[in-house]
Amino acid sequence: MRDLMGMMKQAKELQGRMQQVQEELENTEVDGASGGGLVTVRVSAKGATKAVRIDPSLMKPEEVEILEDLIVAALSDARAKAEKVMAEKMQELTGGLPLPPGLKLF
C-alpha cells in the first residue's frame, strides 16, 4: 500500500512539473528564417505563429511564388526549432527516460 501511495505522490509531482513546462513552452519563442534572413518567422515552442517579417525587397508582384515558398520554409525552420526545444524540455522532465516513439505529452 505504501508503494501505491508513493507512486500517487510521484504522479502528482510529475503532473505539476508538466503543467509548469507547458506554461514555459507557451512563453518560449523561437525564430525561423529563409532566403538568407529575408523572411523570418517567430513561433512559440508549442508551434503557435507569433510574428512574420518580410524584407520589403521581396514585395514585387512577379515574385509572389518565391515569397510564398520562403514563408513556408521559414515556418518549417521555426517549427523544427520549436520541436527541438520541446524535446529538450521533455527530456528534462522525464529525467532521460526513453519514451515510446510518437508519444506526445504536450
Supply the pLDDT for residue 103: 55
Cell 526549432, located at residue: 81
102 pLDDT exceeds 60?
A: no
pLDDT in tens, 31-52: 999 999 999 999 998 888 999 9
- pTM exceeds 0.85: no
* Beta strand residue intervals within the chain, DSSP E: 29-34, 39-44, 49-54
> Which residues does 34 contact at the CB level (< 8 Å), separation at least 6?
70, 71, 73, 74, 77
CB 32 within 8 A of CB 79: yes
pLDDT in tens, 85-97: 888 887 887 776 5
Greater model confidence, 77 or 8: 77
